[in-house]
Structure formats: C-alpha cells, structure tokens
Amino acid sequence: MKRAGDISMDAVASLKPHVRMRSDRITGRKILLYPEGAIELDDTGIAILDLCNGQRSLRDVVAELAEDYEVEPSVLTADVLRFFGELKSRGLLNLETGNQ
Amino acid sequence: MMIPRPYGLLAEFTHACPLRCPYCSNPLELAKRSEELPVAVWERVMAEAAELGVLQVGCSGGEPLLFRGLDSVIRRIRSEGMYSNLITSGIGLNRDRALQLAEAGLDAVQVSFQSDERETADEIAGTRAHEAKLAACEAVHDAKLTLGINVVLHRRNISRIREVIKLAERVGAMRLELANVQFAGWAWLNRMALLPSREQVIEADRIAEEESMRLKDRMQIVYVMPDFYGSRPKPCLHGWAQRGITVNPRGDVLPCQAAEAISELRFENVRDRSLREIWSESEAFNRFRGNDWMLEPCRSCPEREVDFGGCRCQAALLTGDARRADPVCALSPDRHLVDEILQSIQEESAAPAWTYRSASTSPSVTGAPPFENSCRR
C-alpha cells in the first residue's frame, strides 16, 4: 500500500459535511468555507474535488486526473497528496479505507 | 488609500448573558435590551456584509440565543451564502433548539467552557453552567452541527490546560480554541486577577504544542499565545480595519470588538449608514488603517508590516494614546508599563479577587460575589 504521510492511496476521500463549497462573490473563484476559515481552490483543486464522488480511491483520482492532463500518474501523486494533506490538517476531510 | 475587503463579521446580537465571567470582552457599559437592533436591520446588515465580500459570520453576544429573531437572521446569512458559527455559552441549547437552528441554516457551534471540571468552571462563570454546557455539546451532535470549543485561559485555569484539551476530545470537538485572556472590557478591569505567572505560561505553551502534535488531524487546536510575556506584539486583526467588522448590539460598527477601549473614536451606526460606507469611509475604520498613523519606533520599524504596531486597544489602555506602539513590544518606550504589571504579579502570592461581569454600569470591586472566597488562590 502506497502512503505519503499517513494518507493511503486506497482511501476514498470526501469533504466533511460541515464544509461548504461556493463561488466567491468578489473573485468568482471556488472557495471552501469551514468554521473560522476559508480557502480558495485553484483549477487543480477543483478538478480533484470534482473527481471525489464517494467511490474513487485516491489512486483512481490520480489516474483520472493524469488522463485528463495527459501526464504520467506519478507526476501528480505528490501534488494530490499534498492537497489532501492540507485539507486533512484543517479537519475538512473524511478518509475511508474500508477493511484492508 | 486602498480599501481592503472584509472576510469576517462578528455580530453581537445582545449583551445579555447568563454567565458572569470576569474576563468578558464586552464593554463595562453593557447595551440594554431596549437598545438592541431589530431583526430587520440585522437582516439588512447581513445582505450588505455578503455584498462587501464577508464569508464568515460569528453570531455572538453576550449570549446570542437570548436574541429573539436569531433564526431569521441565520436564515438570511445562509441565503446570502455566508458561513455561520454560533458562539454560545451553551445555556439554552437543547436538542430541539439545536435542530431548529440547523434547520435555519446554521453551520457550526462554538461552546465556551471555563475549565474542565464543574466546580472551578462554575466558579469562573459565576453561575452553574458546566453541566448544561456538556448537554449542549450533545445537542450540537444530535443536530449534526459541527462543534468547536473555546476556553479563555487565565491565572485560575491555565494550569488545567491538559485536562481542558481532554475535555474537548471527550465532547467530540472538531476544533479547540485556547485563547489566553486579552485585556479589554471586563478583562482589563480584572487584569491583576487574571494574568497568569510566567511559569504558568511557559508550561501551558509547552503542553499546547505537545498536545497539538498528538491530536494532529483529529482535533485542530488553536492556541493564542499571551503577549505580555513576549517581546513582540501580535499582528492584531492583521492590521486595523483590514479583515473584520464587529457590529455591537446597539448597531455601532467597530473595527474590533474591543475598540470601545479607545475613547477618542466615534463609531457610526448601521441604522444611519450602510455597512459599505462605514467600512470604507468612517473615521473609526480609517483612523489606523495602513501605516500613516504610526509614531516612532513603529514608523521606521522593519517589522511594521509584520505586526502592524500590535494592538491599538492595548496601546490606548496602557499608555492613554492609541497611536503609540503596543507596549508589549520590547522596542516600545512604554514596555516598562507591562513589566511593572508583570512584576507585581510575580510578587503577589495570591491573586486579588476579581469582579464578576454584571449589568451595573459602575462595577464594584469590593462587592460580594457568590464565590468570593474560592476565587482567590
């Protein structure tokens, strides 16, 4: 099982229910809102979260993204894990690993 | 001058509160119920805030649950797309009430605790509250709202920091804010009773860091350092009138919830002008915006863009002049004022009694609070 930090590539990621995504009224960009904070998403962040449909593992997310961007998955793995790591450290992420 | 965009609005719906905490940041002269803004004006304020770019609304007080019409204001916050956090004592928050608020569109609840165990906690709150707070946390979970805990740290509870963190874990908090007491309002009045000792602070800093590492990813701990024992001021508010707006129960619009400590400032009211006009044009917001107001040593200091000269309210309270450098700064010519306070804290073996918050506009330090004996160490 491939891991970076303590996030497993087999995990299925989703935003916790208290996190809300919306467009910012001033900038028009997508943002995540949570208690006492907000983060602006870049295009990659939006693409990653769009792929998190409650079914795909992080490995699948990376694979899909690699296909869209026409690059090798290995090029994207570190960036995707860093993105999820940031969401996780803010308590915004559910990670389900099943019974492995 | 470039007018920035506000991100947060602190809505103080009422100053009424069932608790009587001596560290309350509300002003000594509390707004009366009859002075409170009507619901319709609050709804308009929320629409104006969203238009200005505000993302987060803290529904606060006093105790916001005592404000009739809270649900319709929350509904408006939600329909404007902003995120709402109820900042509550937890008193009055049972399962039904939590469900109603969730239905209105509330996103999160932050419950205050005074300490980890009932006796000390109730003593600090000046009333029986601790058990009700535990029940309120349950209610928050029942309504599937996200729970945060806030504990103001001071001389009387700072040594319980590890146990306080355990309590937050136990009640299922997602976020724990441990804020060393800031000296404004009632806390300024009670500063000699509330200031922790240097030893207490060093120990608390260490435990907070250790526990943050242990709980990393499970519970977010936000530890607000006490600035009196530091040598550089905090970047208070990320600079005056840069990111946040406070509207008090009367409708006065403040750059900071403690700004009434600066007696020279006149605040404009949402009954008279729009939030946008007040944010961008009012004298109180522009008074300390940017760097032009600064005196030496701030004016030529390379760190003026880092800490913005520190806290204006603290400068006003300690030196009588809100333009001076925050006296906690080692470079401030007024640092001796802070050191003298710290010196007298170290010398006293027992903290003086404190004055509980009360509706009286002339608080009596010699009054007889119900826990008069036990609030001494």
A63 touches chain B (CB under 8 A): no
**Contact at CB, B144 and A17, closer than 8 angstroms:** yes
Q: Which residues of A touch B110 (CB under 8 A)?
A: 35
Closest A-chain CA to B145: A18
Helix (H) or strand (E) holding B180: strand B175-180
B148 touches chain A (CB under 8 A): yes
**What does the DSSP 8-state code read for residue A55?**
S
**Contact at CB, B83 and A38, closer than 8 angstroms:** yes
At B374 the pLDDT is 30
CA–CA dist B321, B253 (Å, integer): 21
Helix (H) or strand (E) holding B130: helix B130-142
Q: Identify whether A17 is preceded by a cis peptide bond (ω within 30 of 0).
A: no
Span B190-246, pLDDT tens digits: 999 999 999 999 999 999 999 999 998 789 999 988 889 999 999 988 999 999 999
**What does the DSSP 8-state code read for residue B325?**
P
Specify the 3-state DSSP secondary structure of A30: strand
Mean pLDDT of chain B: 92
At A5 the pLDDT is 56
CA–CA dist B268, B249 (Å, integer): 13
At B101 the pLDDT is 98
Specify the 3-state DSSP secondary structure of B315: helix
Distances (CA, A) of B14 to B21, B86, B114: 16, 13, 20
A18 touches chain B (CB under 8 A): yes
CA–CA dist B183, B189 (Å, integer): 8
**Contact at CB, B56 and A37, closer than 8 angstroms:** yes
Which of A31, A36, A89 is closest, CB to CB, to B217?
A89
Write the single-letter amino acid at A74: S
CA–CA dist B158, B121 (Å, integer): 12
B212 touches chain A (CB under 8 A): no
* Torsional sign, CA B31, B33, B38, B42: positive
Q: Does position B170 have pLDDT exceeding 50, yes or no?
A: yes
B81 touches chain A (CB under 8 A): yes
CA–CA dist B99, B373 (Å, integer): 40
CA–CA dist B164, B180 (Å, integer): 13
CA distance A46 to chain B (A): 19
B51 touches chain A (CB under 8 A): yes
Q: Give the number of beta-carbon pairs within 8 Å between A and B.
A: 57
Span B97-146, pLDDT tens digits: 999 999 999 999 999 999 999 999 999 999 999 999 999 999 999 999 99
In contact, B344 and B192? CB cutoff 8 Å: yes
Q: Does position B282 have pLDDT exceeding 70, yes or no?
A: yes
CA–CA dist B88, B110 (Å, integer): 6
A50 touches chain B (CB under 8 A): no
10-residue mean pLDDT profile of chain A (100 residues): values are: 66 93 95 94 93 91 93 90 90 79
B213 touches chain A (CB under 8 A): no
In contact, B343 and B369? CB cutoff 8 Å: no
Residue with tokens 């961008």, as numbered in its chain: B280
Span B329-370, pLDDT tens digits: 999 999 999 999 999 888 776 778 899 998 765 444 433 333
A41 touches chain B (CB under 8 A): no
At B366 the pLDDT is 36
Least reliable range by pLDDT among B9-18, B271-280, B346-355: B346-355
**Contact at CB, A91 and B174, closer than 8 angstroms:** yes
B84 touches chain A (CB under 8 A): no
At B360 the pLDDT is 60
Residue with tokens 């008193």, as numbered in its chain: B91
At A4 the pLDDT is 46
At B371 the pLDDT is 34
CA distance B109 to chain A (A): 9
Secondary-structure breakdown of chain A: helix, strand, coil percentages, each rounded to the nearest 5: 40, 25, 35
A5 touches chain B (CB under 8 A): no
With b meaning 16 or more CB within 10 Å and e meaning fewer, what string describes B106-139?
Answer: bbbbbbbbbbbeeebbbbbbbbebbebbbebbbb
A15 touches chain B (CB under 8 A): no
CA–CA dist B50, B163 (Å, integer): 39
Span B43-69, pLDDT tens digits: 999 999 999 999 999 999 999 999 999
Distance of CA B2 to the CA centre of its chain: 27
* Torsional sign, CA B108, B114, B119, B125: negative
Helix (H) or strand (E) holding B222: strand B220-224
Closest A-chain CA to B109: A35
Which of A6, A38, A90 is closest, CB to CB, to B55?
A38
Specify the 3-state DSSP secondary structure of B203: helix
Which of B53, B144, B175 is closest, CB to CB, to A91?
B175
Write the burial class of residue B285 (CB in 10 Å: 0-12 exposed, 13-18 middle, 19+ buried). Answer: buried
Least reliable range by pLDDT among B57-61, B70-74, B87-91, B341-345: B341-345
Q: Which residues of B touch A24 (CB under 8 A)?
A: 53, 55
Write the burial class of residue B95 (CB in 10 Å: 0-12 exposed, 13-18 middle, 19+ buried). Answer: middle
Closest A-chain CA to B9: A36
**Between these two residues, B172 and A95, which has the higher pLDDT value?**
B172
Span B295-308, pLDDT tens digits: 999 999 999 999 99
Q: Does position B276 have pLDDT exceeding 50, yes or no?
A: yes
At B376 the pLDDT is 28
Q: What are phi and psi of B307, to 5 degrees?
A: -115, 0
Q: What are phi and psi of B40, to 5 degrees?
A: -60, -35
In contact, A35 and B85? CB cutoff 8 Å: yes
Helix (H) or strand (E) holding B179: strand B175-180
